[in-house]
């Protein structure tokens, strides 16, 4: 399909129903991918960034993507560009509107690393158009769907606004499904769970129960003194947040359900 602003676009009125009917997260993402490719774009990426990834270098964003995105994701991970991505920076700053990559980049004062990422995706991977639809920005974390085109003919053309509006709605619907899907929730918090030792998991369970730390040795094979040491380590691991903030975030992520 033609992306040009003058092209005629007909929305898929069955997308919502198909999304509800699909059982697995993979099937749901395939539906989103189909909408995006049928609209004239070449690739799709769903990104979920637990807020804790911004507080520790041991955690990375979780990605779902089409095959066309794989080389870019490999480069992204290898060079730890999640900390030098101006799109993520915009979402962290509370931007919720559709982000036109190059248009926004031209307005910003970019760091050398941010500029390097733009140069690579343009020159090495040939992305000529890129848009991001933010779908989440709160205490849980950040999420967005990004779409790309490799077509040179669209480089300097305005994309049909109806296409972008439709894909934004589809992206937000997909995100809503992903956040409540049991398999998806596990997939998205798995990077966090991998950082927890058995002793830390036991401490977290006890903390969330609301019982006083001084009594922990009565229920868990951890002395009060060692528990306090572990708690300091966990708080530092998550960005030196307070104990109350830690309990709040762990509850928000529903971590007790998975440990």
Structure confidence by residue, pLDDT tens digits, 57-83: 555 677 889 999 999 888 888 887 878
- Residue 242: both structure tokens together: 């307070």
CA distance 82 to 49: 9
> How far apart are the C-alpha atoms of 255 and 77, rounded to whole Å?
25
| Positive or negative torsion for Cα 200, 231, 215, 254 | negative
Q: Which of 145, 214, 131 is nearest to 176 (CA)?
A: 145
What is the reported pTM?
0.76
Helices (H) and strands (E) in the chain, counts: 11, 5
Q: In sequence order, which residues have a C-beta less than 8 Å from that of residue 14 and are 6 or more positions away?
A: none
pLDDT for 149: 93
pLDDT score recorded for residue 226: 94
Per-residue pLDDT, 63: 85
> Which residues are within 8 A (CB) of 117 and not within 5 positions of it... i.e. 6 or more apart?
76, 81, 84, 85, 86
What is the per-residue pLDDT for 3? 73
pLDDT at 185 (0 to 100):
62
State the CB neighbour count (10 A cutoff) for residue 189: 22
Tell which phi-psi region holds residue 141, choosing left (phi > 0), alpha (psi between -120 and 50) or beta.
left
User: Rounded to an integer, what distance in angstroms lies between the CA atom of residue 158 and that of residue 133?
Assistant: 17
* Residue 252 main-chain phi, psi, to 5 deg: -60, -35
For residues 104 and 90, give the distance between their C-alpha atoms in angstroms, rounded to a whole number: 9
List 43's β-bridge partners, or say none.
148
Distance separating alpha carbons of residues 117 and 81, to the nearest angstrom:
7
* Residue 160 token pair: 């049909």
Q: What is the pLDDT of residue 118?
A: 92
Torsion of CA 15, 45, 63, 85, to 10 degrees: -140
Q: Tell me which long-range contacts 15-22 makes (C-beta under 8 A, separation of at least 24).
A: 15/170, 15/173, 16/173, 19/173, 19/174, 19/177, 20/177
Distance, CA of 36 to CA of 34 (rounded, Å): 5
Residues of the chain short of pLDDT 70, as ranges, are 1-2, 4-9, 52-60, 140, 153-155, 182-193, 237-239, 252-259
* pLDDT computed for residue 10 by the predictor: 74
- Beta bridge partners, 45, equal 65, 146
């Amino acid at each position: 399909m033609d992306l040009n602003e003058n092209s005629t676009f007909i929305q898929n009125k069955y997308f919502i129903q198909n999304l509800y009917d699909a059982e697995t997260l993979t099937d749901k993402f395939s539906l989103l991918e189909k909408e995006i490719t049928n609209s004239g774009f070449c690739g799709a990426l769903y990104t979920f960034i637990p807020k804790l990834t911004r507080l520790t270098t041991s955690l990375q964003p979780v990605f779902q993507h089409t095959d066309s995105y794989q080389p870019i994701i490999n480069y992204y991970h290898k060079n730890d560009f999640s900390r030098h991505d101006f799109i993520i920076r915009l979402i962290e700053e509370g931007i919720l509107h559709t982000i036109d990559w190059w248009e926004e980049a031209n307005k910003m004062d970019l760091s050398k690393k941010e500029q390097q990422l733009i140069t690579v995706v343009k020159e090495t991977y040939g992305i000529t158009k890129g848009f991001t639809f933010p779908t989440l920005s709160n205490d849980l974390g950040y999420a967005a769907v990004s779409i790309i085109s490799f077509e040179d003919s669209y480089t300097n053309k305005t994309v049909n606004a109806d296409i972008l509006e439709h894909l934004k709605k589809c992206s937000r619907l997909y995100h809503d499904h992903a956040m409540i899907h049991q398999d998806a929730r596990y997939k998205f918090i798995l990077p966090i769970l991998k950082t927890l030792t058995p002793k830390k998991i036991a401490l977290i369970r006890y903390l969330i129960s609301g019982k006083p730390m001084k009594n922990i040795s009565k229920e868990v094979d951890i002395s009060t003194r060692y528990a306090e040491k572990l708690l300091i380590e966990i708080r530092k691991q998550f960005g030196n947040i307070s104990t109350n903030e830690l309990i709040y975030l762990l509850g928000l992520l529903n971590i007790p359900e998975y440990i």
